[in-house]
Amino acid sequence: MTPALLQGLSETGFSAQPLSVLQDEQTRELGVISSLAMLEGAPVATRRAWQTAQLHNLIGFARQYSPFWRARLPAGQPEADGLSQWPVLTREQLVHQVQAEGPLSRHVPQLASSLGQTYASSGSTGVPVQTFSLTQNARFNELRSLAQYVMEGRRLDLNRTFIKPAGGQQIADGQRVRVEIQPSWLGSLGGLFAAGHYKTVHADFDAAAIARELRLHPVGYLACLGAHMEALVQCLGDDIAQLGIHMWLHHSDDRNPELVAFLRDRGVVTRSSYSCAELGPIATECPVCPGQYHVVHSNVLVQGGETMAVSGLEGGVLELRHLLVTHLHSYATPLIRYEVGDSAVISERCACGHEGTTLSHIHGRRKNFVRARDGAWVYLPIFSKPMSDLAPFKEFFFEQLEPGRVLLWWVPVGELSAHARSSLVAYLRGVSRADLDFEIRLTDHIDWHHNPKRVPFICRL
């Protein structure tokens, strides 16, 4: 264990029973966390052998209990890196399997009682998807998250704060902020380590109201969308340093490099991760090489599908691959070579020396790219501050319905002058580095009902 973890041990955390050091549950969970950390750092051959065994277990289960999977899976048992010729699972096919067969775990008595969350997407960025998971999946995700803290030597005695977009009922009730606080974010290990509390702030995008809540306790680790952090920085400026943010745990949307630099200059470290609700953790950002993401080998296999040449990234053209992800523990709803709808550059090692699948330039196909008139994909970076400097706004939303043309719904603060309108269009044309038409339509509000994460841009082509 690292010095940071040892310093966080509670004075009364160890067991007082004869011939024991820890309570049984603490021993089990520390064992799992240590095993996960060992597996992630194991030699490639060792890790691949474990992944292959887990893959065989999942394939055998799917063949036994699912007519859908029996009909589509080739004969034989592939190696973990030998799935390239196996069929891709699209969202439409996944919807069909779930509707026809339900959770496969119901066929196994030991698993039937372990059915956990049902995940259903809104369909705002693609085909609506419903999947099933086990309670074991949720606990695995929690322990894998803790393993990341152990692997990086992060402190456990700090608070952990999670800003979550408000749900539809909360918004309908006119409740701007709703707060839940648990005494520890470490579960059964909370008695062993002097952990901070776990605060969940359910909020809309009222930055002033969120800031008032965050000022009540030292924030510690702050997990939130980039859009939430941008709103807080725009609201607080340099005063954001007074919130006691130790590390920003970014997730889900784009991360503005200028925002990362602003926070770094004020002592806030940033770390991002890549995950989705159906699969759990997919990759975590390298602590040494920002922008490089190590695949979570203990949870998924990630492979590349169709290649996508995108201009406007790092001043040139990058070859992105559509991501195909296999969830090694997806026994309720098997996910084998599942097309998640995102793209990235895929490498076999990280510049830090880590040997293992590494992702960079991770982008949602429909959230970050527009179609030019000639059919080419163009990257469109969307960050709120440069636009607000040109024309103050309350909220905005981009969508593309036809190649070469992008629609911007804009809720202005006051009047939007002709000069501000033309400046916005010129700025957007400049950052896209492409011949695109941008049409700005004014509105008094944006309906986020089908887009609860407020993804700022969706390509509907």
The alpha-helical segments, DSSP class H, found in 365-411 are 365-368, 384-390
Quote the tokens at residue 408.
């911007």
Question: Is a pLDDT exceeding 80 seen at residue 173?
Answer: no
pLDDT in tens, 196-229: 999 999 987 688 999 999 999 999 999 998 878 9
CA–CA dist 206, 176 (Å, integer): 7
pLDDT confidence bin for 179, thresholds 50/70/90: very high
User: β-strand 355-364 against 292-295: which pairing, if any?
Assistant: antiparallel
Most confident of 55-64, 360-369, 394-403: 55-64
Q: List the structure tokens of 328.
A: 């090694």
The mean pLDDT value for 20-29 works out to 85
- Find the helix packing angle between 226-236 and 257-264, rounded to 10°: 50
Chain CA centroid to CA 305, Å: 20
Separation between Cα atoms, residue 346 and residue 340, nearest integer Å: 15
Element (H, E) at 340: strand 338-349
Asked if pLDDT for residue 15 goes beyond 90, the answer is no
pTM for this model (two decimals)? 0.80
Cα–Cα distance between 442 and 440 in angstroms, integer? 7
- Per-residue pLDDT at 452 exceeds 70: no
For residues 102 and 112, is the Cβ–Cβ distance under 8 A?
no
Share of the chain above pLDDT 90, in %: 52
Percent of the chain surpassing pLDDT 70: 89
User: Could you tell me the pLDDT band of residue 263, with boundaries at 50, 70 and 90?
Assistant: very high
Can you tell me whether residue 288 is helix, strand or coil? coil
pLDDT score at 80:
76
* 433-451 tens-digit pLDDT: 778 899 999 999 888 766 6
The top-scoring range by mean pLDDT among 52-61, 196-205, 309-318, 337-346 is 52-61
| CA triple 362-364-365, angle to 5 deg | 115
pLDDT band at 140 (very low <50, low <70, confident <90, very high): very high
Task: Encode pLDDT of 358-382 as tens digits.
Answer: 999 887 644 567 788 887 777 677 7
Q: What is the pLDDT of residues 75-95, one digit of tens each?
A: 888 887 788 889 999 988 999
Using CB atoms within 10 Å of the CB of residue 211, give its burial: 0 to 12 exposed, 13 to 18 middle, 19+ buried: middle
Residue 238 has pLDDT above 60, yes or no: yes
At residue 124 the predicted structure's pLDDT band, cuts being 50, 70 and 90, is very low
Asked if 382 contacts 457 with a C-beta cutoff of 8 angstroms, the reply is yes
pLDDT band at 341 (very low <50, low <70, confident <90, very high): confident
Provide the residue type at 158 as one letter.
L
Per-residue confidence band for 25, with pLDDT thresholds at 50, 70 and 90: confident
CA dist 371 → 73, 258, 374 (Å): 34, 26, 8
The residues that bridge with 360 in the sheet, in sequence order, are: 292, 345
Confidence of residue 307 (pLDDT cuts 50, 70, 90): confident
Minimal CA–CA distance to 300: which of 55, 9, 24?
Answer: 55
- The pLDDT mean for the chain works out to 87
Q: Copy the structure tokens of residue 166.
A: 């408000």
The helix (H) or strand (E) run that includes residue 426 is helix 418-432
Instruction: Find all residues with CB under 8 Å of 28, minimum gap 6, and list them.
Output: none
Q: Which residues pair with 89 in a beta bridge?
A: 338
Instruction: Output the CA–CA distances (angstroms, integers) from residue 266 to 247, 248, 252, 259, 416, in the order listed.
Output: 11, 12, 23, 11, 34
Give the pLDDT confidence score for residue 57 in this predicted structure. Answer: 95
Nearest-Å Rg of the Cα atoms of the chain is 23
Confidence tier at 230 by pLDDT (50, 70, 90): confident
The C-alpha atoms of residue 393 and residue 339 are separated, in whole angstroms, by: 36
- Is a pLDDT exceeding 60 seen at residue 336? yes
**Mean pLDDT across 303-327:** 82
323: CB partners within 8 A, 6+ apart? 302, 303, 304, 305, 339, 340, 342, 343, 344, 346, 359
Mean pLDDT over 68-79 rounds to 89
Quick one: which H or E segment has residue 317?
A: strand 316-327
Please tell me what DSSP assigns to residue 17.
Answer: S
Q: Which of the four pLDDT bands, split at 50, 70 and 90, describes residue 125?
A: very low
Q: Give the mean model confidence (pLDDT) for residues 148-153.
A: 92
Instruction: Name the pLDDT band for 132 (thresholds 50, 70, 90).
Output: very high
Q: What is the pLDDT of residue 252?
A: 78
Q: Are 319 and 347 in contact (CB under 8 A)?
A: no
The CATH number assigned to the domain with range 380-459 reads 3.30.300
CA atoms of 102 and 405, how far apart (whole Å): 41
> Which residue in the block uniquely carries the two structure tokens 């994460």?
453
pLDDT of residue 77: 83
Instruction: Compute the average pLDDT of residues 421-440.
Output: 87
For residue 123, what pLDDT band results from cuts at 50, 70 and 90? very low
Q: What's the CA angle centered on 452, arms 273 and 277, to 5 degrees?
A: 40
Tally the C-alpha atoms within 13 A of residue 448's C-alpha that lie toward its C-beta: 19
User: Over the range 65-93, which residues count as b (16 or more CB within 10 Å of their CB) and which as e?
Assistant: bbebbeeebeeeebebeebeebeebebeb
**Where are the chain's structural domains?**
380-459
Instruction: Tell me the average pLDDT across 13-22.
Output: 82
Burial of 419 (0-12, 13-18, 19+ CB in 10 A): exposed
With a cut of 70, say whether residue 430 has pLDDT above it. yes
DSSP notation for 136-171: HHHHHHHHHHHHHHHHHT--SSS-EEEEEEPPHHHH
Q: How confident is the model at residue 422 (pLDDT cuts 50, 70, 90)?
A: very high
- 53 vs 401, more confident: 53
Mean pLDDT of all residues in 407-430: 91
pLDDT, position 376 = 72
Q: How far apart are CA 348 and CA 300, in angstroms?
A: 15
34 three-state secondary structure: helix
